Structure formats: structure tokens, C-alpha cells
Amino acid sequence: MLDTKVPDFTLPATGGQPFNLAAHGGKIVVIYFYPKDSTPGCTTEGQNFRDLHTEFLAVDAVILGISRDSLKAHENFKSKQAFPFELGSDADETVCNLFGVIKQKMMYGKQCRGIERSTFVIDRSGTLRREWRGLKVPGHAQEVLDYVRTL
């Protein structure tokens, strides 16, 4: 999928407006997929993107966090963590499947289907330029920012 045009999609999102990829043409779009609102790793990851948000804005980048949680759960999570970016609700897994982030995982010793923590960078022309899959949270948001600055 790298170096290919990302198909347009629209997703229910926080902030009262659906997120539409095409509406962000001309900007760099950073999409990070995370397993679940208000869990330790997902909270830390969101906080790291939050803390670097002004630096992402300085390079004309938009951040969108996506999980399968409901819009109501997203609004609570966003508010509690003071995220300055929107969270998209992909309950039917349409966008998750577009990016291939649903995987079989082990959770507490049991097999389950879930989102593999992943981040994607889409350039100003809508082309997928970089992806991170199965990533570790510490230092990740900074690594994404460093990459975005090269575009």
C-alpha cells in the first residue's frame, strides 16, 4: 500500500463533524490506530501526540486517532485527556480493514481480534508515504513528527 493513493473515506468523529480524508487534501494526515480508549498504552500514545500537536501543526499536519470505540467513549476520552485533535469511531471496521490493522492477538492468555497499534502518514497529494505497525509507544510520536518534517 506504500506509495499508493489512499482511497477517500468518511468516519464519525469527535468535534461534531465526520472526518473526511479528501477534505484534508493539501495537508499531511497522520492517522494512528489504537486498540481502546482510556487504557494505559492508548492514553500514553494519545498524550504523546497531544504534547507534540503544535509541532505537527507547524508542518501543516492533521492528526486523527482511530479505534472501534463509540463516539461517546471517544468524546469522554478526548475531553479527559484534552486532546486537541479528533478521534474517529470505526465501529464497523471499514477504515481498519482499509489499512489492514485488525489482527488476531493474545490478551490475558486468550486469542481475540483487535486493532494492532499502527500509524500511517499520508502526504499532501493523498499518497501513503510511511507506516508503522505493531509499534511500541515510547518515542513513537516523536519519530512520526521527525518523519513528517522530511515531507
Q: In this predicted model, what pLDDT tens digit does every residue of 108-138 receive, in sequence order?
A: 788 888 999 999 999 999 999 999 999 999 9
Domains and CATH numbers, the chain: 10-148 (3.40.30.10)
Please list the residues that pair with 133 across neighbouring strands.
118
112 noted as active-site residue: no
Instruction: Name residues whose C-beta falls within 8 Å of residue 79's C-beta, 6 or more positions apart in sequence.
Output: none
Active-site residue, from 11, 13, 42, 144:
42
pLDDT by residue (tens digit) across 86-113?
Answer: 999 999 999 999 999 999 877 678 888 8
DSSP track, 25-47? TTSEEEEEE-S-TTSHHHHHHHH
Whole-prediction pTM: 0.95
